[in-house]
Amino acid sequence: MRLGNLERSIMEALWNHPEGMLAQDLADALPSTPAVTTVLTVLVRLSRKGMVTRERTGRAHLYHASAGKDVFVAEAMREVLDGAGDVQAAVSRFVGSVSPQVAAALRDALNSRDPD
């Protein structure tokens, strides 16, 4: 799932605050300091995408990321591969470009995967 810059910034803030954040606190935490109404509009979009949940706390809402960053990154990687055309070539080029640490993590993940 592709995110715009403000969506990504909001998600990064929420991932860094698993206890949740109020819209005003999110607006204050973002480097671009958008208006709270802008943050609320983006939170509604993220909620529709299933990335954000909210809970009422008095008159305000506390917003949470609905899944960890690892889930988002895995989904983004899957979407890229789905559109790659030649998946074998794309994966080979990717594997050839990563650090030894990332290659080891990929190897470990593949080795621990349950056979289908």
- pLDDT, one tens digit per residue, over 24-70 is 999 999 998 899 999 999 999 999 999 999 999 999 999 999 999 99
Tokens of 7: 């969506």
What is the rounded end-to-end Cα distance, in angstroms, of the chain? 25
Q: How, if at all, do strands 21-22 and 52-57 pair?
A: unpaired
- Element at 114 (helix H, strand E): none
Question: What are the two backbone dihedrals, phi and then psi, of residue 36, each rounded to the nearest 5 degrees?
Answer: -60, -35
Rounded Cα distance between 70 and 72, Å, is: 5
97 within 8 A of 90, measured Cβ to Cβ: no
Answering whether pTM is above 0.85, one says: no
- pLDDT, one tens digit per residue, over 63-104 is 999 999 999 999 888 988 888 888 899 889 988 999 999 999
